[in-house]
Amino acid sequence: MSSSMLALISAFGLVLAVELPDKTLVATLVLTTRFRAWPVFAGVTAAFAVQCAIAATFGSVLTLLPETLVTAIVAAMFGIGAYMLLREGFKPGKDGGEDASRSGPSPATFFRSALTSFGVLFAAEWGDASQLATASLTARFGNPFAVALGSFVALVAVAGLAVFIGAKVRSRIRPKLIQRVAGFVFAGFSLFALAQLAF
């Protein structure tokens, strides 16, 4: 398997696992209850494209630094991601998203609905575990395009599930369990990177 394909698959799998129980899914569900599906999907997809480009660019900058420093930064970023996910996964409370508004879709224009959706998801993704994963994997594989593409496809898949399946998806998954599993995976990546510093 080529390094590009490995980078793409790694990014897709990790970001998909991280985002299924995350605020991205819940936010998209809530937006879909307020606006029509296609404008929401267009807006969140554009937000994901910009955020993936930003994260991959940051990861590419990391590759210009000394390898030891990059490994330490990658370990720290995965460690932060693990902490965020495990904190949410073990936080007391209901294992599910907040109930979305029961009101029907708003008659707002396509542009207004898409712009609102873009703004909400663009803001929500800053410092998110998927952004940290994208930057870290870019630094690890040195292939920003493949990592960004894998992350983007995973985010769009999550948005698609939220928009088209909606409440069915939310009722069938256990967000806290997925957050815990993803948190331990992030912690494993962080420990692996730290182990590389020792050898």
Asked whether residue 123 is assigned to any structural domain, the reply reads yes
User: Exposed, middle or buried, 72 (CB in 10 Å: 0-12/13-18/19+)?
Assistant: middle
How many structural domains does the chain have? 1
Q: Is residue 100 part of a domain?
A: no
Torsion of CA 46, 183, 14, 56, to 10 degrees: 50
Q: Is 21 within a domain?
A: yes
Predicted structure pTM score: 0.65
Q: Is residue 15 part of a domain?
A: yes
Give the domain extent around 153.
Answer: 3-65+109-171
Helix axes 110-124 and 23-34, enclosed angle (nearest 10): 160
* Within a domain: 59: yes
97 inside domain? no
Of 126, 118, 129, nearest to 87 by C-alpha is 129
Give the pLDDT confidence score for residue 101 in this predicted structure.
38
The residue to which tokens 């990546």 are assigned: 189
Q: Is residue 104 part of a domain?
A: no
Query: Is 25 among the domain residues?
Result: yes
Residue 153: what pLDDT? 95
Rounded mean pLDDT for each run of 10 residues along the chain, 199 residues in total: 86 86 72 79 94 87 74 77 78 56 57 88 75 85 91 92 62 64 77 79
